[in-house]
Amino acid sequence: MTTETTNSADPLKSVATAMANAAEAVRDGATDAAAKVQGALPATGKFISRFVYSTFYFASYGVVFPTMFVAHVVPGLGPIADGLTDGANAANDVIQEMKAKRAAKKAEAAEAADVNDEGVEAMAAV
């Protein structure tokens, strides 16, 4: 009977080993896939960001350059060119203010997070 029990245990053991190997392969595959996705996301985001930037850069260049060219070349359109230049400078100033406000909010949020972390650490020490 011992030889019969040993013979029946070997196939079960080999099936269990095969299942363990398959589970490990699936786990490794999932880890590899997650790593590849994490690597692809920044590249995709960078491509989309560059595409959007280039699209709007060339569209604005295509509108502003001919307008300024015509305004400077055609006599009597000097005030129009001055108005366009002043408007562009004002828009740039507003954008700089918005960026400064956003940076201040981020710094404030980071400071609040640091204070919160310090509070958690203080509570943990008690």
Q: Domain boundaries in the chain?
A: 1-73, 77-126
Under 8 Å between Cβ of 72 and 81:
yes
Q: What pTM does this model have?
A: 0.41
Under 8 Å between Cβ of 70 and 77:
yes
CB count within 10 Å of CB 67 equals: 14
pLDDT digit string (tens) for 93-118? 999 999 999 999 998 888 877 766 66
Tell me the C-alpha distance between 34 and 103, whole Å.
32
Under 8 Å between Cβ of 77 and 71:
yes
Spatial neighbors of 80 by CB under 8 A, at least 6 apart, are 71
Confidence label for 1 from pLDDT (cuts 50, 70 and 90)? very low
Mean pLDDT is highest, among 11-25, 29-43, 59-73, for 59-73
Q: What is the mean pLDDT of the chain?
A: 77
